[in-house]
A and B are shown apart, each in its own frame.
Chain A
Amino acid sequence: MGGKKRKHSEAIKEAEEALLLKQKQETEAPERPPRTLLGWKKQPKTDSSPSTFSGFRNKEKVLVTCSRRISFRYRHLMLNVVSLLPHCKKDNKIESKESKGSTLNELVELKSCSSCLFFECRKGKDLYLWMAKCPSGPSVKFLVNAVHTMEELKLTGNHLKGSRPLLTFSSTFDKDPHWQLLKELIMQIFGTPKDHRKSKPYHDHVFSFTIADDHIWFRNYQISCPNSGAQKLDRGDLEKMTLIEVGPRFCLNPIKIFGGSFGGPTLYENPFYVSPNQIRALEKKKKSGKFAKKVKAKTRRKMHEEANPLEEDEFAGMWKE
């Protein structure tokens, strides 16, 4: 397996790099070396506050696409997601074929992205969401349920476009390894990188990811305070803090986790998952027997009547004479 070998070597390389980085930090952090590759605007600030220095820089970039023949509702959901992620790139629709994995991998590389959100619509009604980290995996396939887009009028909140969201996770994410992995994946994909050029310096909305009934529920709320204009908020304002839902809403049902990006060994399979096709087929089957049952009942009745004829009524000819 060439892929695995490649991956292994990569992993080693990464580990070495990380180690180097760490050593570098430990040795050089007090000396405050000049930073050359960062944005020049931030340079005076980092110089003035050396405590914020860290070698880490989040360069996450997400490719967001969808399959052909996606329904308008799901397309709107995708556009909402695009508007929520300033660090994403939207691309053209992709034919949902078997070879879509390699196509997508190529595309992600071409767009120099590090992760991908792929909205796949099947039969015009089922939406699947692929979340993948791109060169080396992992990737997850979700079934998306309970979709509400931002356009719905009952979602009344609003927030800055491109402000970095707070990500809240329920503690159930730390229970199982697959939830832990999903949490890390979601955090990296949905978290806007610090100092991203399209991001805004304030934090006025919060994403909530909750596991309920083995599904991940997504909500997006605006944070509002009675006197949010004042820069200094105190405890009292904290008590009065309220949230207004902005949308979109969706519910992710994890189906499978793969080791690679859009493929590779299966690491996890949802044991409770039933595909919507299956459900529909069962429903159809239930309905289909109706006529056959009727006919059967009729013939049975006939047979029964023939087998047990009624006794002659003694008063039958009474009024005829």
Chain B
Amino acid sequence: MGVLHKDQPKFDVASINGAAVGDSDPEVSESESESESEGEDAVKLAEPSKTAVYNRDGLADKLKDLSWPDNVEWIHKLSIDIHSEEAVDVNDDLTRELAFYTQALDGARQAFMKFQGMGLPFLRPSDYYAEMAKSDSHMEKVKGQLLAEKKRIEESEERRKARENKKIAKEVQAQKTKERAKQKKDDIESVKKWRKQRQQSGFAGGDSGADLNFDFDDGKGSERSNKKRQGVRPGDRSGGKARQFAGKGKTGSDKNKKGRDFKDSRFGFGGKKGMKKQNTSDTTNDFRDFHKGDSTNRKRKR
């Protein structure tokens, strides 16, 4: 082989550098010798090595020997050249793959036009079944993987949503309470305004004004005023009137009612029993029989 003799001096250089010592194949060691001087571990040399062979005439000759005759029809070759504008950045996976994809797609489209021009079939018809490059079991796996991927994405999406909702929920709750408070305040305000207007327009005082009291008017309604009255039990809805009228008796058409009234007048009815037994502020503040028993007495009892 003439090549080896020609490249002998370079080979020596390689062995000096020591990188190619263990290699048995002369060709590899030759190629390694090109890259001696570089100290960096870049895959590509920064500058082309000067000793590299580039025999343009030889290449052209070989190409002429190799290539098919010019009049060979395209259908034999099926090759399409696609013009690409700019060099792609190899390290950017996405743009690189996109460049390959667009090249292939353009090629496929051009080929399709050519096939259509020649009236030849192009894609496989759907009822043409034959052995495929990948087996059915493999495609099953691919499908399963795709489905799993989809499911995984959906699940993660759901989780993300739930997390965000939780974050928002607190704010939403606060907003709601604020709104409610505001609503209440507005209502009260409007009622006050309405009352003021009424007073100004001449319906001042009067029983009718008192009748139109609203329950939500700051708790100043009937209940509070009831409590203020002396001698009335808290559950007494008659407001002490029952006791007031107890002696007088009441007119009633019903016989039962008459009897009740009679009994009431005789024994007295001052409201419901259960409410009578509850403590009021008067009874709780009554310490009259608190210190009756001595502490020593109690001890002895125990």
Could you tell me which A residues sit within 8 Å of B by CB distance?
Answer: 1, 11, 14, 18, 21-22, 25, 52, 54, 56, 58, 83-84, 96-98, 122, 133, 136-138, 141, 150-151, 153-154, 156, 158-174, 177-178, 180-181, 184-185, 187-188, 191, 193-194, 200-208, 210, 212-215, 217, 219, 221, 223, 225, 228-229, 231, 233, 238, 241-243, 246, 255-259, 263-275, 277-279, 281-283, 286
Name B's A-contacting residues (CB within 8 A).
1-3, 6-7, 18-20, 23-28, 31-32, 34-35, 38-45, 48-56, 58-60, 62-63, 65-69, 71-73, 75-84, 87-88, 90, 96-97, 99-101, 103-109, 111-113, 115-116, 121-128, 130-134, 138-139, 141-142, 145-146
Complex contacts, B124 vs chain A, CB 8 Å: 160, 163, 200, 202, 204, 228
Name the one of A259, A265, A274 contacting B44, with C-beta atoms under 8 angstroms: A274
Chain B residues with Cβ below 8 Å from A180 are: 59, 63
Residue from the list B7, B48, B68 in contact with A271, Cβ < 8 A: B48
B52 touches A160 (CB 8 A): no
Residues on the B chain within 8 Å of A122, using CB: 28
Residues of B within 8 A of A154 (CB): 145
Find out whether the CB atom of B123 lies under 8 angstroms from the CB atom of A233: yes
A146 shortest CB reach to chain B, Å: 10
- List the A side residues contacting B113 at CB < 8 Å: 238
Compute how far the CA of A257 lies from the CA of B56 in the bound complex, rounded to whole angstroms.
11
Checking B43, B80, B128 against A274 with a beta-carbon cut-off of 8 angstroms, the contacting residue is B43
Smallest CB gap from A186: residue in B: B79
Q: Which 7 A-B pairs have the closest CB atoms?
A: A229-B126, A168-B107, A271-B48, A271-B52, A208-B104, A177-B59, A213-B90
How long is the Cα–Cα vector from A172 to B84 in the complex, in angstroms? 8
Contact across chains for B81 and A171 when beta carbons are under 8 A apart? yes
20 CB contacts below 8 A, A to B, read A1-B2, A52-B75, A163-B124, A167-B78, A168-B79, A168-B80, A170-B81, A171-B82, A174-B81, A187-B79, A202-B124, A202-B128, A210-B88, A213-B90, A223-B123, A228-B126, A231-B125, A233-B116, A271-B49, A272-B44
A160 to B122, CA, bound (A): 12
Q: A18-B69, A168-B106 are in contact. Are A267 and B78 (CB under 8 A)?
A: no
Contacts of B108 in A (CB 8 A): 166, 168, 206, 221, 223, 241, 243
